[in-house]
């Protein structure tokens, strides 16, 4: 069976007169050496891979590693400097203008991070745009666009204008716009990159659900390891234009091909790189030490909690107070709670996340995160931790306090 997409020793060097640079590449010179000697950038450095029909193939790597370049070679937006890129066994670099237009118009669709939504057209016309270019009659294209919008959960938004949609919804429009073309290859370049973590996770789930139905061949670019592991049937890790390893998530995690991959995998382990300050959240309520018993009780009631952290001047953490300690004072009509302030469980802001776990396990209540001057930075609850692990990249989670 021929692969749906196949790259054979694919090299892409940006610029004109690439002969010398290619020669250097073939002699084994590195990307930086080639750049130094010729001024030309090696975008893809001899990539070999096959993507099977119906597979989600993920390209992951740091910024500048050549993911987008490789993706653009697949639909012929970029032509290989040497080597070959085959779609259904046909070499893209040998296609004429007409064939290329067919390739991009009918066989391959693309979804970008900042996909160009047309602001003056309503949602359904945005989705139908590609069909319009193809010359499909209005009614037919509306019917198809409507179906595509239904499938991405935007059925009720067809007649809205783009500015009425959230970021996540706009990405769905982008997806619908690709789906409506009914091409069997979908190229997605960081399609969820601009979305916050929760919406992003939602979109990933949805893409997987959708994929079970539509079974397209998807090449998905991301720089987010979690996203890659979640979505990819197979994952290719890129570095300086070259593919360092290709495999399933399990294969790559269990057996990193080299030190670079190993570092790449661990480098993104946020339980190591995130610290207490970065995952802490601002609590819904605090109380200053100069405020009163009744104010403190009011805030506890409002936020349905039985304790509050107390701050002093310049946000310095003074301690915490509990409702049980305040109620007797309230009965005695005492205003100040200074006598019942307890010591709070604190953790320095630069504690790495891995060391936050044990601290939290031993603490019944939230941990107060403080800087080196004892200033209050936020709280970490048992929920914060779960959310941070879920989100990894740390989006706008909801503080549960």
Ligand X SMILES: Nc1ncnc2c1ncn2[C@@H]1O[C@H](COP(=O)(O)OP(=O)(O)OP(=O)(O)O)[C@@H](O)[C@H]1O
Name the site residues for ligand X (rule: CB under 6 A).
14, 41, 43, 61, 63-69, 223
- Which has the closest alpha carbon to 339: 356, 321, 324? 321
What is the nearest approach in angstroms of Mg ion to the Cβ of residue 77?
13
What is the nearest approach in angstroms of Mg ion to the Cβ of residue 208?
22
Phi, psi dihedrals of residue 367, rounded to the nearest 5°: -95, 135
Site string for Mg ion, 74-113 (x = CB under 5 A): ----------------------------------------
Token pair 């979109």 in the structure block, residue: 203
Closer to Mg ion by Cβ: residue 154 or 237? 237
What distance in Å separates the CA atoms of residue 14 and residue 22, rounded to the nearest whole number? Answer: 11
Choose the one of ligand X, Mg ion, none that binds residue 65, judging by a C-beta under 5 to 8 angstroms depending on kind. ligand X
Choose the one of ligand X, Mg ion, none that binds residue 16, judging by a C-beta under 5 to 8 angstroms depending on kind. none
Which CA distances in Å does 168 have to 197, 286, 289?
A: 11, 33, 42
Which CA distances in Å does 150 have to 13, 173, 176, 216, 290?
A: 42, 11, 9, 18, 56
Choose the one of Mg ion, ligand X, none that binds residue 223, judging by a C-beta under 5 to 8 angstroms depending on kind. ligand X
Contact 317, 370 (CB under 8 A): yes
Q: Which residues of 5-36 are buried (b: 16+ CB within 10 A; e: fewer)?
A: bbbbebbbbeeeebeebbebbeeebebeebee
Closer to ligand X by Cβ: residue 220 or 307? 220
Q: Based on the number of CB atoms within 10 Å of its own CB, is 255 exposed (0-12), middle (13-18) or buried (19 or more)?
A: exposed
Choose the one of Mg ion, ligand X, none that binds residue 260, judging by a C-beta under 5 to 8 angstroms depending on kind. none
What is the nearest approach in angstroms of ligand X to the Cβ of residue 35?
8
What distance in Å separates the CA atoms of residue 308 and residue 228, rounded to the nearest whole number? Answer: 40
Choose the one of Mg ion, ligand X, none that binds residue 76, judging by a C-beta under 5 to 8 angstroms depending on kind. none
Closer to Mg ion by Cβ: residue 59 or 368? 59
What is the nearest approach in angstroms of ligand X to the Cβ of residue 153?
28
What is the nearest approach in angstroms of Mg ion to the Cβ of residue 255?
27
Q: List binders of Mg ion among 37-76 (CB under 5 A).
A: 68
Closer to Mg ion by Cβ: residue 68 or 381? 68
Q: Any idea what DSSP says for residue 81?
A: S
Closer to Mg ion by Cβ: residue 74 or 131? 74
Contact 275, 81 (CB under 8 A): no
Choose the one of Mg ion, ligand X, none that binds residue 142, judging by a C-beta under 5 to 8 angstroms depending on kind. none
Choose the one of ligand X, Mg ion, none that binds residue 81, judging by a C-beta under 5 to 8 angstroms depending on kind. none
Task: Please count the residues of this chain forming the interface with Mg ion, following the rule CB under 5 A.
Answer: 1
């Amino acid at each position: 069976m021929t692969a749906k997409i196949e790259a054979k020793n694919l090299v892409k060097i940006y610029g004109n007169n690439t002969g010398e640079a290619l020669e250097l590449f073939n002699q084994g010179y590195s990307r930086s050496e080639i750049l130094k000697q010729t001024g030309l950038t090696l975008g893809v450095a001899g990539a070999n891979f096959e993507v099977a029909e119906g597979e989600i193939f993920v390209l992951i790597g740091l910024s500048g590693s050549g993911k987008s370049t490789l993706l653009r070679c697949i639909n012929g937006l970029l032509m290989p400097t040497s080597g070959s890129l085959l779609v259904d066994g046909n070499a893209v670099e040998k296609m004429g203008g007409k064939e290329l237009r067919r390739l991009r118009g009918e066989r391959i669709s693309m979804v970008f991070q900042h996909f160009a939504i047309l602001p003056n057209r309503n949602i359904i016309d945005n989705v139908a745009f590609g069909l319009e270019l193809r010359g499909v009659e209005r009614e037919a294209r509306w019917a198809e666009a409507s179906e595509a919008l239904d499938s991405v959960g935007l059925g009720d938004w067809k007649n809205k204008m783009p500015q009425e949609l959230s970021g996540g919804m706009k990405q769905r429009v982008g997806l619908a716009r690709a789906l409506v073309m009914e091409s069997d290859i979908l190229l997605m370049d960081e399609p969820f990159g601009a979305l916050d973590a929760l919406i992003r996770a939602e979109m990933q789930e949805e893409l997987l659900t959708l994929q079970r139905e539509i079974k397209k061949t998807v090449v998905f670019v991301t720089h987010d390891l979690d996203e890659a592991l979640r979505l990819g049937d197979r994952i290719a890790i890129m570095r300086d234009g070259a593919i360092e390893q290709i495999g399933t998530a399990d294969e790559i995690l269990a057996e990193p091909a080299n030190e670079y991959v190993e570092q790449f995998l661990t480098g993104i382990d946020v339980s190591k790189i995130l610290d207490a300050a970065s995952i802490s959240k601002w609590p819904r309520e605090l109380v200053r030490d100069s405020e009163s018993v009744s104010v403190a009780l009011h805030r506890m009631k409002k936020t349905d909690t039985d304790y509050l952290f107390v701050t002093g001047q310049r946000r310095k953490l003074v301690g915490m107070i509990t409702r049980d300690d305040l109620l007797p004072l309230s009965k005695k009509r005492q205003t100040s709670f200074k006598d019942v302030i307890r010591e709070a469980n604190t953790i320095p802001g630069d504690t790495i996340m891995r060391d936050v776990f044990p601290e939290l396990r031993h603490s019944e209540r939230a941990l107060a995160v403080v800087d080196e001057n004892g200033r209050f930075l936020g709280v970490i609850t048992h929920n914060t931790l779960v959310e941070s692990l879920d989100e990894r990249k740390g989006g706008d989670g909801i503080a549960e306090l």
